[in-house]
Amino acid sequence: MKAFKNNVTKCRREFDKSVLQIKSEKSLQELRNHYLSRKRGQLTLLFEDLMALKPEQRPIAGQMVNELKKDIQEKLQSLKKTFKTEEEVVERTDFTLPGKVRYWGAAHPVHLFQAEIENIFISMGYSIEEGPEIETDYYNFGALNFPPHHPARDDWDTLYLKDELLLRTHTSPVQIRVMEKQKPPIKIVIPGKVYRKETPDPTHLPMFYQLEGLVVDKGITFAHLKGTLEYFLKTLFSEKIKMRFRPGFFPFTEPSAEVDIGCTVCEGKDEECRVCGGSGWIEILGSGMVDPQVFKNVNIDPEEYTGFAFGLGIDRTAMFAYQISDMRFFYENDLRFIRQFLLK
Ligand code: PHE
C-alpha cells in the first residue's frame, strides 16, 4: 500500500512538472495520451496496480487515483481552452487590413518655415518680438515717417477699421513699439501676420506673413546690413545663391535697398519662367538704414546711434524655397498639400 501511495504521488509530481512545459496543442495531446490513454496510460497502469491490492485497501487507494485523474483532467481541460482562444484570435485577425493611422495634426508649413528663419537669426544673437495686428495710423505710418496724405501710403493698400484703427500693413510698426520701450543696443526679429487690400492671385494675398528685422547700436553701417542679409540668405537657401541690392525707397529707411535673389526655379535660364518672369531675379526683401527722423520719433539720438532694418515676406519666401507656383495653396487647407512638408 505504501508503494502504491508513493507511485500516485510520483505520478502527480511528474504531471505537474510536464504541464509547465506545454507550449502547443500537439504537446498537450501527447501529455494527455501519456496519462489518460486506455492502453498503457499512467493512470490506467495505476488502476491495474490497484487491482493487485488487498480488497480492504482498494477503496482508499481508488479514491487517491480518482482524485489524481480528476485533477489531471481539469488541468488539461483548462490548458486546452487557452490554446483555443489564441487560435481563435489568429483566425479572426486579418493582417492584410491597412493599419489605423491616427492624424494628430502638426505645425503649418508656413510656421515651420518661419521657425527655420527665426533659428538662423537666433543663432546670430537676435531675440524675437511681437506686436498687435490691429494698429493705429500713428504706428503703421506716422511714426515711420509717412507724412499725412503722402502718396507713399498708397503703396500699402490699407484695410481700415473704425476710429483711426487699421489692420497693420507691415510688421514695421513693431520697430516703433520696441524702440519706445527699449533703448539700444537692439537686435530683434519680428514675425507676424499683415493685411492688405488685395485680390488673391498666385503671388498676392490679403493676409500674409512678414518677418521684420531691426538692429540699433553705435557704429552700425550699411556693411552690417549687407553682411547680415548675405549670411541669412545663404544659410536659408544655399551657399551658391546669387543676390543683388537695388536702390529702393521706404519713408522709414535712408538709404533703402530692395534685395533680389537669383531665381530658384529657372536659375535665369528660362525666358518664360512663371516665377521670375524671365528676368532671372526675384524680389525678396525690403531693407535700409533707419531714417534719423524715425529715431527722433522714439527719442533715440541719431547722432549717437545708427541702425538697419529689413522686412521679408515669409510665405512668399517659402514659395521660392519649396518651389511652389501659387501662394494660395498654403491657405486652402488641402491636407494632401500641407502634409508634404511634415516629413522634412
Ligand atoms: N515694411 C516694408 C514693406 O512691407 C519692408 C521694409 C522693412 C523695408 C524694413 C525696409 C525696412 O514693404
Tell me, yes or no, whether 188 and 272 share the same domain.
yes
Which of 75, 78, 50 lies closest to 64, judged by CA? 50
DSSP reduced 3-state for 343:
coil
pLDDT of the residue at 203 = 84
- Could you tell me if 222 and 317 lie in one domain? yes
> Cell for 208?
500674409
Q: What pLDDT, in 10s, does the model give residues 297-334? A: 999 999 999 999 999 999 999 998 888 888 999 999 89
Say what the pTM is: 0.71
Residue 72 class from Cβ within 10 Å (0-12 exposed, 13-18 middle, 19+ buried)?
buried
Residuewise pLDDT in 10s, the chain (344 residues)? 888 888 888 888 888 888 778 877 778 788 888 888 887 888 788 788 878 888 888 888 888 888 888 888 888 887 777 776 666 666 777 888 888 888 777 889 999 999 999 999 999 999 999 999 999 999 999 999 999 887 777 777 899 998 789 999 999 999 999 999 999 999 999 999 999 999 998 888 999 999 999 999 999 999 999 999 999 999 999 999 999 999 999 999 999 999 999 988 788 888 888 778 889 999 999 999 999 999 999 999 999 999 999 999 999 999 988 888 889 999 998 988 988 887 54
Q: Which of 250, 253, 259, 294 gets mutated to test ligand 1 (max ligand atoms within 8 A of its CB)? A: 250
The string of pLDDT tens digits covering residues 124-164 is 999 999 999 999 999 999 999 999 887 777 777 899 998 78
Asked if 244 and 334 sit in the same domain, the reply is yes
- Residues contacting ligand 1 via CB (< 6 Å): 170, 172, 212, 250, 253, 286-288, 309-311
Nearest CA to ligand 1 atom 10: 287
Neighbouring residues of 19: CB distance < 8 A, sequence distance ≥ 6: 31, 75, 79
Which 3 state secondary structure label does DSSP give 43? helix
Nearest atom, ligand 1, residue 285 CA: 5
Distance of alpha carbon 183 from alpha carbon 127, whole angstroms: 15
Task: Choose one of 32, 65, 92: the last residue of a domain.
Answer: 92
> Given the DSSP bridges, would you call strands 186-195 and 165-167 parallel, antiparallel or unpaired?
unpaired
Tell me, yes or no, whether 242 lies in a domain.
yes
Among candidate residues 92, 124, 150, the one where a domain is terminated: 92
Same structural domain for residues 140 and 273?
yes
Beta strand ranges found along the chain (DSSP E): 127-128, 134-136, 159-160, 165-167, 186-195, 207-217, 243-250, 253-262, 281-290, 306-313
Residues 20, 126: one domain?
no
Q: Which atom of ligand 1 is nearest to the CA of 155?
A: 12
Which residue has its alpha carbon closest to ligand 1 atom 9? 310
In SS3 terms, 120-171 reads as HHHHCCCEECCCCCEEEHHHHCHHHCCCCCCHHHHHCCCEECCCCEEECCCC
Q: Is residue 269 part of a domain?
A: yes
Q: Is residue 104 part of a domain?
A: no
In a domain, 311, yes or no: yes
Cβ atoms < 10 Å from Cβ of 200: 13
Which of 156, 172, 222 for a ligand 1 pocket mutation test, highest count of atoms within 8 Å of Cβ? 172
C-alpha span between 258 and 247 (Å, rounded): 6
DSSP state of 100: P
Range of the domain at 306: 109-343
